[in-house]
């Protein structure tokens, strides 16, 4: 999935002459804290509600000498992971997308990104979750996949988490089987450390959906 596929057409860009109070009203309507400022196809910068409140002059244009606009963006062909890295690192609610000619195409919203990531992680599909801990030097994706598939299951999604100054990896696996007992036993036989696991019987699906719904409600505040 690339940035172009994530553009939210509902978000309207500001023009340099739009005033602060109108920008705040649009942010409130769209439930975001940032909006792009665009002149024709040129992306000028990103303005936040904090920028406007800190200036305190709500009847002034969003583009003036008292506000220095940041210019975070991604190109249309960049991967969703690049999008997540910038949005997370800079704590943005929208991220502008440009084409290869540096023309503005639209924005990706945080809410849309979370929904798409949910789909990528197969959260809507029935199955189980297994968390493993391994030494980095012992991490073999082919072996992990082989263990899952030897128990008539498939990996729906997998991601790894590493911590600074640690030789360990945490591996989170989502499989397409709700009965993961046999998979867990095989991991134990191969001397894997199972940190945690969830399946339908543990009401994992319901709790995950509840958490996801709560997150989306939070993003829409």
The domain ranges of the chain are: 3-118, 122-215
Each residue's pLDDT tens digit, 178-198 = 899 999 999 999 999 999 998
Q: What pTM does this model have?
A: 0.67
Report whether pLDDT(203) > 50.
no
Average the pLDDT over 125-145 and give the result: 91
DSSP 126-174: --EEEEEEEEGGG--HHHHHHHHHTTT--EEEEEEEE-TT-SEEEEEEE
Dihedrals phi, psi of 161, to nearest 5 degrees: -130, 125
Average pLDDT rounded to a whole number, residues 34-49: 95
Q: Which two tokens stand for residue 196?
A: 């945690």
Q: Average pLDDT, stretch 125-132?
A: 85
What pLDDT score was predicted for residue 217? 56
pLDDT, averaged across the chain: 87
Q: What does DSSP assign to residue 14?
A: B
Q: Which residues pair with 128 in a beta bridge?
A: 175
> What percent of the chain has a predicted confidence (pLDDT) above 90?
65
Mean pLDDT within 130-152: 95
pLDDT band of 29, cuts 50, 70, 90: very high
Model pLDDT for residues 94-116, shown as the tens digit of each residue: 999 999 999 999 999 998 888 77
pLDDT digits (tens, 9 = 90+) for 147-179: 999 999 999 888 888 878 889 999 999 999 989
| Better-predicted residue by pLDDT, 88 or 219 | 88
Nearest CA-CA partner of 74 in 120, 159, 5: 5
Q: How far apart are CA 201 and CA 178, in angstroms?
A: 8
Q: How many CB atoms lie within 10 A of CB 68?
A: 9
- pLDDT band for 211, please (50, 70, 90 cuts): low
Helix 141-149 to helix 181-189 angle (10° resolution) is 140
Q: CA-CA-CA-CA torsion for 151, 152, 156, 157, nearest 10 degrees?
A: 20
Alpha carbon 125 to chain centroid, angstroms: 19
User: Helix crossing, 204-219 with 110-120: angle to 10°?
Assistant: 160
Question: Was domain 3-118 assigned CATH 3.40.950.10?
Answer: no
Retrieve residue 198's tokens: 């969830």
CA dist., res. 221 & res. 206, Å (int): 23
CA distance 154 to 159: 15
pLDDT the model gives residue 139: 94
Q: How far apart are CA 177 and CA 126, in angstroms?
A: 7
122-215: in CATH 1.10.3720.10: no
Q: Who has greater pLDDT, 199 or 3?
A: 3
Phi and psi dihedrals of 177, rounded to 5?
-115, 135
């Amino acid at each position: 999935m690339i940035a172009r596929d994530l553009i939210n057409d509902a978000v309207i860009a500001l023009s340099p002459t739009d005033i602060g109070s109108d920008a705040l009203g649009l942010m409130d309507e769209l439930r975001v804290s940032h909006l792009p400022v665009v002149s024709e196809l040129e992306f000028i910068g990103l303005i936040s509600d904090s920028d406007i409140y800190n200036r305190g002059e709500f009847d002034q244009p969003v583009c003036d000498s008292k506000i220095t606009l940041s210019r975070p963006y991604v190109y249309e062909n960049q991967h969703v992971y690049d999008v997540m890295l910038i949005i997370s690192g800079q704590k943005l609610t929208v991220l502008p997308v440009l084409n290869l000619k540096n023309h503005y195409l639209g924005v990706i919203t945080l809410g849309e990104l979370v929904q798409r990531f949910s789909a990528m992680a197969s959260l809507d599909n029935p199955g189980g979750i297994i968390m493993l801990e391994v030494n980095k030097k012992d991490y073999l994706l082919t072996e992990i996949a082989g263990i899952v598939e030897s128990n008539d299951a498939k990996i729906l999604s997998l991601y790894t988490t590493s911590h600074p100054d640690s030789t360990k990896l945490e591996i989170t696996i989502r499989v397409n089987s709700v009965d993961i007992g046999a998979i867990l036993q095989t991991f134990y036989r191969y001397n894997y450390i199972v940190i945690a696991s969830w399946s339908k019987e543990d009401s994992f699906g319901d709790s995950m959906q509840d958490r996801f719904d709560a997150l989306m409600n939070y993003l829409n505040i």
